[in-house]
Structure 1
């Protein structure tokens, strides 16, 4: 049986590699564009409109410079050299305590790259690295209302574990759901 793939569903070839300080501007743009795309109608539009790529890039550079190596930032680089996505992971944060489990802190794609395999490539790399680091479980938090992301995480083997917490953005309480999977 032959499967016909449309251009939109054809997997995009990307190289997943560690983020460098030189990637900060592109990662910031991906994060800001990702928030504006994913959370439109969920987070107040004024907050999304006020997100500043340059300020976010400075935060990215500062986090990389100050990091102790426990947080790993990865980027998905397309064949043309542009960045298509970003992920960050490290030890699970239980309040101020770092546990022996892992946590996916962030995974964002350029909106036009959604559904093209970039997220799957980043997720595969994160899962492999978490297993190699010896994390018995990996957790992540996702807005309860983010159905697209929840489907993606479930397809990657994560399941909601029943833990929920409120998350406040611009005065709006948004429930987050914790997902887990064995590394």
Structure 2
């Protein structure tokens, strides 16, 4: 059983560990190994501290707490590429669970809480981006009601270009 709450500054190191270890586990064979090997918890934590201290930041960060402290993290807010219109679009920017705890419902719990908060903030739908080769994540999001909407973008990792697919769902 996990409890979900707002992320605190004291959670940064744990969240960075979850994110870096999550990348290094989930993206083996997808993202170049040199990129994954170069990721460090210290570097991520340094950037995360800057990120959460930005004045006027509109994103929200939640952590899932288990017996050993934070075991999952989600970051969400307004869609970064939204065209203004009557239906507001939210976006899940990141969702990671400690690799040894994947499959225990922690990611789903975090996603449900984020969806509830986005809906209460007036968002009608949620979007997110998934690497096209990350079949496990795609199945997870599809099982959570997301569908690929036909939009894609390219991102470079150590000079290797990978395709991301945008998924959306109604909240």
Alignment TM class, shorter chain as reference:
over 0.9
Contiguous gaps of at least 5 residues in structure 1? 1-12
Tell me the residue number matched to 1:120.
108
User: Shift of the alpha carbon at 1:69?
Assistant: 4.0
Tell me the residue number matched to 1:85.
72
- Name the CA shift for 1:66/1:174 in 2 (closer, same or farther; >3 Å): same
Q: Distance in 1 between matches of 2:49 and 2:55?
A: 10
Q: 1:68 aligns with which of 53, 56, 68?
A: 56
Tell me the residue number matched to 1:43.
31
Tell me the residue number matched to 1:29.
17
- Name the CA shift for 1:98/1:170 in 2 (closer, same or farther; >3 Å): farther
User: Shift of the alpha carbon at 1:109?
Assistant: 0.7
The residue matched to 1:88 in structure 2 has which SS? strand
- Name the CA shift for 1:144/1:67 in 2 (closer, same or farther; >3 Å): farther
- Check the 8 A contact 1:18/1:75 in 2, yes or no: yes
Aligned length: 169
The two structures, once aligned, show a CA RMSD in angstroms of 1.4
User: Shift of the alpha carbon at 1:67?
Assistant: 4.4
Q: Distance in 2 between matches of 1:98 and 1:126?
A: 21
Tell me the residue number matched to 1:157.
145
TM-score (norm: length of structure 2): 0.94
Q: Distance in 2 between matches of 1:20 and 1:60?
A: 11
Q: Distance in 2 between matches of 1:50 and 1:167?
A: 17
Contiguous gaps of at least 5 residues in structure 2? none
Q: Distance in 2 between matches of 1:127 and 1:66?
A: 23
Tell me the residue number matched to 1:4.
none
The residue matched to 2:36 in structure 1 has which SS? helix
User: Shift of the alpha carbon at 1:56?
Assistant: 0.6
Q: Deviations over 1:9-45 (max 9, x none)?
A: xxxx001100011000000000000000000011111
- Name the CA shift for 1:98/1:15 in 2 (closer, same or farther; >3 Å): farther
The residue matched to 2:44 in structure 1 has which SS? helix
User: Shift of the alpha carbon at 1:82?
Assistant: 1.6
